[in-house]
Chains A and B, each alone.
Chain A
Amino acid sequence: MNAVTDPAGRITAVAGALLVAALAVSLDGGSSTLPLSLLGAGTVLGLFVLVPRAIAGVRRHPALLIGVALAALPLAMTVFFGYFADGRTLWMIPELVVALVPLAIIALAALGGLILIADDLRARFGLAQRGLTPWQRLTGTAQRPLPAPWRAVGGLALVGLALILGLGYIGASGSSDLLSLVLLLVLGGGAAAIIAVPLLIAGLARSDRARLTTAREDERRRVAAHLHDSVLQTLALVQRQAHDPAAVQRLARRQEHELRAWMAGEVELGTETLGAALRKAVAEVEDDYEATVEVTILGERVLDREAEALAAAAREALRNAARHAGSPIFVFAQASPDGAEVFVRDEGPGFELATVPTERRGVRDSIIGRMQAVGGRAEIDSVPGEGTEVALRIGVTG
């Protein structure tokens, strides 16, 4: 946007003119009333533009606060040392300006140099592939101003210049050692912060991206496990009961309800405690397979993520038992806020885990994988001819 047609630009221009007028009048000497009122008007106008922009800028780039602090410091120090230390009044505008200008120049040089160095570092560590570099934001150009090594060299030169100017200024003004020490410390701290903060932000953004990828993978596994437990199981049942239209219809209707509830984001099992979820799973399996399940549940636990996985894994184990072994099936669960264990046992033919084909996902993904995904444990103890017991545990169990 053109600076002259932009209302903010116009206000800035007027404010600048007022400030220059105040400077001119005060350097001319005479009464302090006129320059003060001009200065006040300019400042007020400037604040109208600068404060909202500064707030917006800081909100987008918190690192800018350091720049603001750095720019405000000379003013604050001038006020402090000028007013409180020497007892001189603030009405002496010329001295104020004389003190401010060199410090502002030094701060600008240092900032520019540091931004160039930070730019170079970001490019070197591959953190600036996307978006504009600070330098591009400052200059408004899309092109990079200088090839990589020259930016760093230019930045170092600017910082060096700022240091020389600063030391020269301190020497010329004959300030105390304390002041020069403070100045150097502030410049050094600011430099470190300006280089470190963008690096830190970029690093955090990168680890966020990594976490997001893991979360997506977890979500995919969760969806796959859910589909296996629900839709694929129902389809298998439908195939086996194709001769019974009523049963097929019942299975299809229930699956439809379940899938809709799941897609609407309701809790996977529609229950709030582990005990309720287990009982529901048992009821489903008894219904689907006409199996008899003896359930004993001691204690209770809220159906958090771990307990949900535990209940889902137990349901899968129950289905396996009902499908491969038949009645009786025993479920024994002990739950507490610290942990929970569920045993699902059948007295069927048993099997050897090593001989289960990999394409049968049931045991691997729906039971073992599911438990591992929430930091739980699954043990399968099967003796050919004697039966199978699946032990599922989360947290600390007694």
Chain B
Amino acid sequence: MRIVVVDDHHLFRAGVRAELTPHHEVVGEAGTPAEAVAVIAEAKPDVVLLDVHLPDGGGVAVLEALAGDGAPKVLALSVSDAAEDVVPMIRAGALGYVTKTIDTSELLVALATVAAGDAYFSPRLAAFVLQAFSAPVQPKSELEALTPREREVLHHLARGYAYKRIAARLGISDRTVETHVGNVLRKLQLTSRHEVSHWAATRGLVSDDEESTP
């Protein structure tokens, strides 16, 4: 698997490269969004490990620049445990989110999941997404609201259950759990910017000025 690591901390990039090299090929590194876009265009990786906090627009800027056909899969990475940092990354196209404290084996699982095109929901991401969909705004259509089953799956993910256990507890197949998670991801990316920023504003995550900008 070919991987590009985007993080503005040089030491962290070196650490991740050392961690991943025995298993995968780290084909590039970048410290800013502009650098990242250039490196990714040249190296054509399978997966981009993308830090949320970057200068000049953050990880979201990279995701927006990459949007389109043939874009690599992106796994978001952050020291932050703030929903307002994480949820926009998923909305902009990242397939999963992990914290920087994740251990190597779990990081490898996450990279493999994302490379296969599936969503990787860490417990924390599941919790944040659950919160995003609990916003007191009316979704535009039924399609954009979570079904009770999807909510249940997310709740279990937030509590740290693996897909296999969730499937057993809910009496459904592993594949169905994956489908539910994928649907959640798609719905999150479909929700309008206004709804998400309204959700953030009602929690005091951003100021009301930001909410009113289109």
List the interface of chain A (C-beta within 8 A of B): 294, 296, 298-299, 328, 330, 332, 334, 343, 345, 386, 389, 398
In the bound complex, do residue A332 and residue B161 qualify as a contact, i.e. CB atoms below 8 Å apart?
Answer: no
In the bound complex, do residue B131 and residue A294 qualify as a contact, i.e. CB atoms below 8 Å apart?
Answer: no
In the bound complex, do residue B134 and residue A345 qualify as a contact, i.e. CB atoms below 8 Å apart?
Answer: no
A389–B123 Cα distance when bound, in Å, is 15
In the bound complex, do residue B130 and residue A298 qualify as a contact, i.e. CB atoms below 8 Å apart?
Answer: yes
In the bound complex, do residue B161 and residue A296 qualify as a contact, i.e. CB atoms below 8 Å apart?
Answer: no
Against A, the Cβ 8 Å flags (1 = close, 0 = not) of B140-171 are 00000000000000000011110001000000
A256–B23 Cα distance when bound, in Å, is 48
- Say if the beta carbon of B64 comes within 8 Å of chain A: no
> What residues on A are CB-neighbors of B127 within 8 Å?
296, 298, 332, 334
A386–B165 Cα distance when bound, in Å, is 9
> What residues on A are CB-neighbors of B56 within 8 Å?
none
A318–B101 Cα distance when bound, in Å, is 20
A389–B134 Cα distance when bound, in Å, is 24
- Say if the beta carbon of B208 comes within 8 Å of chain A: no
Q: How far is the CB of B113 from chain A (nearest CB, A)?
A: 17
> What residues on B are CB-neighbors of A345 within 8 Å?
159-161
Against A, the Cβ 8 Å flags (1 = close, 0 = not) of B70-107 are 00000000000101000000000000000000000000
> What residues on A are CB-neighbors of B17 within 8 Å?
none
A332–B127 Cα distance when bound, in Å, is 8
> What residues on A are CB-neighbors of B161 within 8 Å?
345
In the bound complex, do residue B165 and residue A296 qualify as a contact, i.e. CB atoms below 8 Å apart?
Answer: no
What would be 17 A-B contacts, judged by CB atoms less than 8 Å apart?
A: A294-B123, A294-B160, A296-B123, A296-B127, A296-B128, A296-B158, A298-B127, A298-B128, A298-B131, A299-B131, A330-B123, A332-B123, A332-B127, A334-B127, A343-B159, A345-B161, A389-B159
In the bound complex, do residue B131 and residue A332 qualify as a contact, i.e. CB atoms below 8 Å apart?
Answer: no
In the bound complex, do residue B160 and residue A332 qualify as a contact, i.e. CB atoms below 8 Å apart?
Answer: yes
> What residues on A are CB-neighbors of B158 within 8 Å?
296, 332
A386–B167 Cα distance when bound, in Å, is 14
> What residues on A are CB-neighbors of B83 within 8 Å?
298
A299–B130 Cα distance when bound, in Å, is 12
Chain A interface secondary structure, helix, strand, loop or mixed? strand
Q: How many A-B residue pairs have CB under 8 A?
A: 32
The 9 closest A-B pairs by CB, nearest first: A330-B160, A296-B127, A343-B159, A296-B124, A332-B158, A332-B159, A298-B131, A345-B160, A345-B159
A253–B83 Cα distance when bound, in Å, is 37
Chain B interface residue count, Cβ-Cβ cutoff 8 angstroms: 14
A332–B123 Cα distance when bound, in Å, is 8
> What residues on B are CB-neighbors of A389 within 8 Å?
159
> What residues on A are CB-neighbors of B131 within 8 Å?
298-299
Q: How far is the CB of B130 from chain A (nearest CB, A)?
A: 7
Q: How far is the CB of B104 from chain A (nearest CB, A)?
A: 13
A389–B161 Cα distance when bound, in Å, is 10
A242–B147 Cα distance when bound, in Å, is 53
> What residues on A are CB-neighbors of B134 within 8 Å?
398
Q: How far is the CB of B109 from chain A (nearest CB, A)?
A: 13
A345–B160 Cα distance when bound, in Å, is 7
A214–B134 Cα distance when bound, in Å, is 40
A334–B161 Cα distance when bound, in Å, is 17
For A386, the closest partner residue in chain B by CB is: B165
A294–B101 Cα distance when bound, in Å, is 10
For B165, the closest partner residue in chain A by CB is: A386
> What residues on B are CB-neighbors of A330 within 8 Å?
123, 159-160
Q: How far is the CB of A139 from chain B (nearest CB, A)?
A: 71
> What residues on B are CB-neighbors of A299 within 8 Å?
131
Q: How far is the CB of B188 from chain A (nearest CB, A)?
A: 16
> What residues on B are CB-neighbors of A343 within 8 Å?
159
> What residues on B are CB-neighbors of A294 within 8 Å?
123-124, 160
Q: How far is the CB of A280 from chain B (nearest CB, A)?
A: 16
For A328, the closest partner residue in chain B by CB is: B160
For A381, the closest partner residue in chain B by CB is: B169
Known A-B contacts: A296-B128, A332-B160. Give 14 more (CB < 8 A).
Answer: A294-B123, A294-B124, A296-B81, A298-B127, A298-B130, A299-B131, A330-B123, A332-B158, A332-B159, A334-B127, A343-B159, A345-B161, A389-B159, A398-B134
Q: How far is the CB of B118 from chain A (nearest CB, A)?
A: 21
A330–B126 Cα distance when bound, in Å, is 13
Interface-centre pick from A296, A332, A345, A386 (highest chain B CB count, 10 A): A296
A294–B160 Cα distance when bound, in Å, is 8
For B168, the closest partner residue in chain A by CB is: A386
A299–B204 Cα distance when bound, in Å, is 11
A249–B159 Cα distance when bound, in Å, is 35
For A327, the closest partner residue in chain B by CB is: B103
Q: How far is the CB of A347 from chain B (nearest CB, A)?
A: 8
For B122, the closest partner residue in chain A by CB is: A294
For B130, the closest partner residue in chain A by CB is: A298
A389–B130 Cα distance when bound, in Å, is 20
Q: How far is the CB of B92 from chain A (nearest CB, A)?
A: 22
A392–B50 Cα distance when bound, in Å, is 36
Q: How far is the CB of B86 from chain A (nearest CB, A)?
A: 11
